[in-house]
A and B are shown apart, each in its own frame.
Chain A
């Protein structure tokens, strides 16, 4: 009997220990950062003005009420990172400046957002305003989920389309109608570690201009755990200490490289797949060579650590990452101190430059009543005109005029990105099935870069068959 009692006590203690261990294990920080989320903190370079928002602020609540009234404006968006904290402050300013309007802001992770949004519209209970990406506008508009904005906000002069990046405006135009208002521009920027470049005997003020020059640099910058370079005898490719480059997020890296090489996913009118064109194949082959021939970039395989984690510990020199990385730099001032930003470097033989940009856009869902439209219009105009504050999150304000303001230009990475987007920026294809096309080309390139043995040309052809089938669909 005593033995049974002791056994039970032991079991109880062990069970309690186990439960505590499980609870603690659930509190650990995640291994990777989702690439499509915005920055973890407010964006500033080391040399920039301090962040307006406290970097140690509490995480943004999912649902945030601003002001008090019976009938608030309901806003849904996916700004759930720490850019959400900047956004929340911006909304606070809005209700302070517009005491007759109150609002309820709901931050929803993007995957869930695109489940809630269409179902809410179909059910006749849409929010008054939504924020998502320009690249998704054609699909949402073709499904009848958005109201055209021309008659609501552009034709009466409240906002002027000419004040925004023309590429973005083209991207959010569906059947001749402008379906949204750009809130910001965001996209790829080159972040590079000046200290590692100097240590390799190279000049961080004079970056490589084309693909051939870049390979030379990359071979000098990449080192294994024994300090050997890929060109040295006995280089240990399985134990690389410092990588020159990283593939980062395919969503941006693929189109950027294709465009630099003169290739693309489809032709301009979206009727023919070009992923298997010689230019496109050459672009992807260049990345394959960097990974498996020159060993200057880690293989782009699923589940690998985020490039920022490598960069943070001085193991990555050139990082193609988003404008939102400004938040990461604000979190890591020691890293920011040795980081500079530049236009995305060209990997093409002729040094052609190109960069992909996207935009957080503001729109009104189908089914919103007149009162909701009026409130949403007020908020949209406010956010578009007060984008300077939003720039502290690292994103480039949508209005070009706002981009030129002193407080925006003072943020080095934002100023650089604004210039880059306006000079060489392009948006993705505006197509009703763009998301499906995007998955198809990311899959094809994923196959092509999965191993040293992969046949890039064959994978591009296979991907092109899938894309062409999507394009041919009525």
Chain B
């Protein structure tokens, strides 16, 4: 033991020297890489990280835009938020909108992509046609939506009443159907993107799998269930997460088409947040909403990753 100690010390010093030299070499070697990402990191920190931390800070104050010294209220805004019926209603409306839109976009996107994967006359035209609404701005979607859902002069009620002899439906005036109406407009607008990504995902599945299944006697439905679905799971995860995050931030459709009404029936969380900040100038309270909303989105995204990653097969 007594003899081993000096030897160990010698080795340790040698190792440390080698490690230091290796680290320095590694750093020198990696330095250009870090320099390459530095400009991006600078703007990322300036325009994303800083606002996030600033938002967290503002949520702890009764923030007045012109005050030099702000009034710290701790978790006061969060306490008020817990008792704010309008916020919870807006969050519920957002949840309903997201559930409808994301589910429909995924199901419809996958089915249409599966159909458009095959070769037939007019396939490319249909691909363009289905994706086309996605290039429109949300303002156009809003104006089109207003015309489509109008109770008296809207095209949907024209079909319902004049052609089908049904009752005149108040699509945007009925609290129970205003969210589905907005969601349908949104699906029409946005389902091209998931369709396109699903199409790419489907095309990456080797044809041999389907040929082997066919030889084993599997029909189309079984191939879809046991080959397509498992192999498309990574794409499904990507689509679900991105669609969830995008639609949780829905703002312009209710803002333009239904003005958040009737009453609060289509007021969404981000719309309420915007009004609180820029119409009522309650920036601290609006920031606390943003933090809660971000928290919900993070938690649900983590759950989605956990739930769907285990099912992803390659």
**From A240, which residue of chain B is reached at the shortest CB distance?**
B152
Q: Flag whether B151 is at the interface (Cβ < 8 A).
A: yes
Q: Is the CB of B125 within 8 A of A239?
A: no
Q: Flag whether A337 is at the interface (Cβ < 8 A).
A: no
Given contacts A15-B128, A18-B129, A30-B143, A435 and B279 within 8 Å (CB-CB): yes
Q: Flag whether B265 is at the interface (Cβ < 8 A).
A: yes
* Bound-complex Cα distance A301 to B171 (A): 9
* Bound-complex Cα distance A119 to B281 (A): 11
Could you say which residues of chain A place their CB within 8 Å of the CB of B264?
443, 447
* Bound-complex Cα distance A31 to B259 (A): 15
Q: Flag whether B116 is at the interface (Cβ < 8 A).
A: no
**How far is the CB of A341 from the nearest CB of chain B, in Å?**
25
Q: Is the CB of B150 within 8 A of A305?
A: yes
Q: Flag whether B261 is at the interface (Cβ < 8 A).
A: yes
Q: Is the CB of A304 within 8 A of B278?
A: no
Per the CB 8 Å criterion, the residue count for chain A at the interface is 47
Q: Is the CB of A450 within 8 A of B168?
A: no
Q: Is the CB of A436 within 8 A of B258?
A: no
Q: Is the CB of A446 within 8 A of B263?
A: yes
**Chain B, range 95-141, C-beta contacts under 8 Å to A:** 124-125, 128-129, 132, 135-137, 140
Q: Flag whether B213 is at the interface (Cβ < 8 A).
A: no
* Bound-complex Cα distance A379 to B146 (A): 41
Given contacts A302-B258, A304-B151, A143 and B65 within 8 Å (CB-CB): yes
Could you say which residues of chain A place their CB within 8 Å of the CB of B129?
18
Given contacts A447-B262, A450-B174, A466-B85, A143 and B167 within 8 Å (CB-CB): no
**From A367, which residue of chain B is reached at the shortest CB distance?**
B66
* Bound-complex Cα distance A450 to B173 (A): 6
**How far is the CB of A248 from the nearest CB of chain B, in Å?**
14
Q: How many A-B residue pairs have CB under 8 A?
A: 136
**From A437, which residue of chain B is reached at the shortest CB distance?**
B280
1/0 per residue, CB under 8 A from A, across B145-174: the answer is 111011111000000010000011011111
**From A28, which residue of chain B is reached at the shortest CB distance?**
B143
Could you say which residues of chain A place their CB within 8 Å of the CB of B265?
447, 450
Q: Flag whether B175 is at the interface (Cβ < 8 A).
A: yes
Q: Flag whether A372 is at the interface (Cβ < 8 A).
A: no
Per the CB 8 Å criterion, the residue count for chain B at the interface is 51
* Bound-complex Cα distance A32 to B172 (A): 15
Q: Is the CB of A433 within 8 A of B280?
A: yes
Q: Flag whether B311 is at the interface (Cβ < 8 A).
A: no
**Chain A, range 17-38, C-beta contacts under 8 Å to B:** 18, 22, 25-26, 30-32
Q: Is the CB of A302 within 8 A of B178?
A: yes
**From B167, which residue of chain A is reached at the shortest CB distance?**
A238
Given contacts A14-B125, A238-B167, A447-B263, A301 and B146 within 8 Å (CB-CB): no
Could you say which residues of chain B place their CB within 8 Å of the CB of A305?
150, 152-153
Q: List 6 A-B contacts (CB under 8 A).
A: A31-B147, A118-B65, A118-B66, A143-B281, A447-B265, A450-B175
Taking Cβ atoms with an 8 Å cutoff, the residues of B that contact A are 64-67, 85-86, 124-125, 128-129, 132, 135-137, 140, 143, 145-147, 149-153, 161, 167-168, 170-175, 178, 257-267, 275, 278-282
Taking Cβ atoms with an 8 Å cutoff, the residues of A that contact B are 7, 10-11, 14-15, 18, 22, 25-26, 30-32, 111, 114-115, 118-119, 121-122, 139, 143-145, 238-239, 298-305, 366, 433, 435-436, 439, 443-444, 446-447, 449-451, 459, 466
Q: List 8 A-B pairs, minimum CB-CB distance, nearest first.
A: A301-B173, A447-B263, A450-B262, A303-B172, A144-B66, A238-B168, A302-B258, A302-B261
4 other contacts beyond A303-B149, A443-B261, with CB at 8 A cut-off? A238-B168, A302-B172, A302-B261, A459-B263
